[in-house]
Structure 1
Amino acid sequence: MKKYKRRDVGKAIVMALRDLGGSASRKQIRRTIAENEYDGLTYEGVYYTKKAKTRMYSPFLFDFNFGLKNLYLVGYIEELKRNQDVVLTDLGRSADLTNYPSKEQQRIIAAYWDKKNALRAERNKAKKLANDQKEEAVDSNDEQDSADNDWKTQLLDQIKKFKPEKFESFSRLLISKMGVAIDKEKGVQISGDHGIDGFGYFRSDEFRTSRVAIQCKRYTSGPVGEAEIRDFKGIMDSFNAEYGIFVTTSYYTDTAKRIAMKGNRTVTLIDGQELTDLIEKYQLHIKPVTTYALDDYYFEKD
């Protein structure tokens, strides 16, 4: 996976929010940036993780959190609130992003962080903290977001270490939790023999039953491309499947996404990030831990 170079991501955040209708969760914004590669960012860069002394962390997430704060400072987004969507202001919806941040915006942003860092340095002088205070300055509003990213990063890293047979079995289990009844003969015995990794049936609310083909690719790096989706759709036809589900630990190229949606038999694409979200949703081999988040009462206004 390509490494991520620290940078300003404010423009990409606004571009994503505009495409999402002006309001979205932080997770939706990051995903939209990754999928559309706004402002030169890449999917691999957005989800790149780096090992610290005790855990894995996302360098992009630091820049993302700073980007949100900076956008609030210049009036592009409304005040950030815990567990609520990020919302564009009228200025954020209409402003020309060509030269963002402008010199005046840079001055406003720098003044805020200079003041913030001076206060922090004064409070922590006796503790002899590291000089790179911006690295430590993730807003308290984002602590839960960071914690959520931490365990899902570890989860995806572990899944990438599965043997192919275990990943196929795991994917079938997840898809069965999503409502697809796996055919115990076709759905398992054809695995690895004819190019698909599962087969089952899904009954909709209208009592219509559809035939579903399943394909799994455990990639440690690089995207799933057009060829893999074309091959899968061809095999779907041979099994008379009405639609397909393709699961990967990686991500998909734009061409692969377009091919998946073409024709009468479409393919639902599940990438690594959505995979961890689904594991959380269906509580698949994970144990929830009860904790508490402080509300705004405990945090002073800047």
Structure 2
Amino acid sequence: MKIYKRQSVEKAIVLALRELGGSASRKTIRRAIAENEYDGLTYEQVYYTKKGKTGKYSPFMFDFNFGLRNLFSVGYVEPLKRGEDIVLTDLGRSDDIINYPTKIQTDEINSYWQKQKAAKDKAKKIAAEDGNDETVDSTDVQDSADNNWKTELLDQIKKFSPAKFESFSRLLISKMEVSIDKVKGVKLSGDHGIDGFGYFRSDEFRTSRVAIQCKRYTSGAVGESEIRDFKGTMDSFNAEYGIFVTTSYYTDGAKKIAMQGNRTVTLIDGQELTDLVEKYQLHITPVNTYSLDNYYYEKD
């Protein structure tokens, strides 16, 4: 595994946003950077987690949030709003970023952070005078909390036994309205190179046969050979399409093989797996809270 080292990720953010049409959520930008390896960043580096005092965290996200503010300071992105998409400005869409940051941009970034420090020092002074030593952190708390519980979730799934992971994957896929065949999908699948088989009804008249494969990887990527073997096994079941689930991620070759031919394979990686657990509320307990919107942070 390539361990992430703290670095500037602004170029990667701009490249991802340009590819995504100029506007996207933080989660979508992060995923685009990981999948396309913008500015040399790999999937493993972007999603690398490290143990801290209060649990695991993502070093990349520190640089990501820091980088967004740098991009705002040089006029590449519009004002950052909590819970809203990041949007490129006209300058961010068209400017040449090969030499980013230029001397002028470096000065603009330094000036921005000096102003931020002065404002924070003033807030601390006022808080101290009021007898309150706590100040509001400008970090998007909701986004950090979302990343933290999903990191813990993926870590726990990786510790599943092979049998439990297969059972978990079938349960999740059944929530996605695939009816698991109790004979082919459970009793026979283990002897035929797949981990599940079922049926998906897309409308009143069409039902498709679906093959399922699950790979619980703690590190490394699923390669094209695994997808090619799976597609071969799909033929023996006469499956019209397949679903491949992993706790890891997929190589570019694997993604290409998955889309070739008449029988395509839907690839679900570790990050999407946690999103689906959230979507279908699979053995998780929601915790209701509130986050303040920009109204409370805007200056008069």
TM category, shorter: over 0.9
Question: Does residue 1:276 correspond to 2:300, yes or no?
Answer: no
Quick one: which amino acid aligns to residue 42 of structure 1? T
Q: How many Å apart are 1:291 and its aligned residue? A: 0.4
Quick one: which amino acid aligns to residue 28 of structure 1? T
Quick one: which amino acid aligns to residue 138 of structure 2? D
1: distance between equivalents of 2:44 and 2:60? Answer: 10
Q: How many Å apart are 1:72 and its aligned residue? A: 1.1
Q: How many Å apart are 1:241 and its aligned residue? A: 0.3
Q: How many Å apart are 1:117 and its aligned residue? A: 2.8
- Unpaired segments ≥5 residues, structure 1: 128-135
Quick one: which amino acid aligns to residue 277 of structure 2? I
Question: Which residue of structure 2 aligns with residue 37 of structure 1?
Answer: 37
SS in 2 for 1:175: helix
Q: How far does the alpha carbon of each residue in 1:50-92 deviate from its partner, in whole angstroms, 9 at most, with x for none? A: 1011211100011111111111111111111122111111111
Quick one: which amino acid aligns to residue 11 of structure 2? K
Question: Which residue of structure 2 aligns with residue 247 of structure 1?
Answer: 245
Question: Does residue 1:265 correspond to 2:263, yes or no?
Answer: yes
Q: How many Å apart are 1:206 and its aligned residue? A: 5.1
CA contact (8 A) 2:154 2:270 kept: yes
Q: How far does the alpha carbon of each residue in 1:242-283 deviate from its partner, in whole angstroms, 9 at most, with x for none? A: 000000000000000000000000000000000000000000
Cα separation, partners in 2 of 1:175 and 1:65, compared to 1, 3 Å: same
Cα separation, partners in 2 of 1:227 and 1:277, compared to 1, 3 Å: same
Question: Which residue of structure 1 aligns with residue 131 of structure 2?
Answer: none
CA contact (8 A) 1:167 1:216 kept: yes
Question: Which residue of structure 1 aligns with residue 200 of structure 2?
Answer: 202
2:214 equivalent among 213, 216, 230? 216
CA contact (8 A) 1:66 1:138 kept: no
Identity score, percent? 77
Q: How far does the alpha carbon of each residue in 1:81-133 deviate from its partner, in whole angstroms, 9 at most, with x for none? A: 122111111111111110111111111111211332344356658x9xxxxxx
Q: How far does the alpha carbon of each residue in 1:177-219 deviate from its partner, in whole angstroms, 9 at most, with x for none? A: 0010000111001242111000000010253100000000000
2: distance between equivalents of 1:205 and 1:86? Answer: 37
CA contact (8 A) 2:189 2:197 kept: no
SS in 2 for 1:192: helix
* Bigger mean CA deviation after superposition, 74-83 or 255-264: 74-83
1: distance between equivalents of 2:81 and 2:296? Answer: 14
Quick one: which amino acid aligns to residue 71 of structure 1? L
* Bigger mean CA deviation after superposition, 39-48 or 189-198: 189-198
Question: Which residue of structure 2 aligns with residue 110 of structure 1?
Answer: 110
**Alignment coverage as a number of residue pairs:** 293
2: distance between equivalents of 1:198 and 1:138? Answer: 47
Question: Which residue of structure 2 aligns with residue 89 of structure 1?
Answer: 89
1: distance between equivalents of 2:107 and 2:203? Answer: 56
1: distance between equivalents of 2:42 and 2:97? Answer: 19
Question: Which residue of structure 1 aligns with residue 132 of structure 2?
Answer: none
Residues 162-241 of structure 1 aligned to structure 2 (within 5 Å): 162-205=160-203, 207-241=205-239
Quick one: which amino acid aligns to residue 16 of structure 1? A
- Unpaired segments ≥5 residues, structure 2: 128-134
CA contact (8 A) 2:23 2:88 kept: yes
SS in 1 for 2:191: coil
CA contact (8 A) 2:189 2:196 kept: yes
Question: Which residue of structure 2 aligns with residue 160 of structure 1?
Answer: 158
SS in 1 for 2:214: strand
2: distance between equivalents of 1:274 and 1:156? Answer: 10
1: distance between equivalents of 2:43 and 2:68? Answer: 19
TM-score normalised by length of structure 2: 0.93
Question: Which residue of structure 1 aligns with residue 17 of structure 2?
Answer: 17
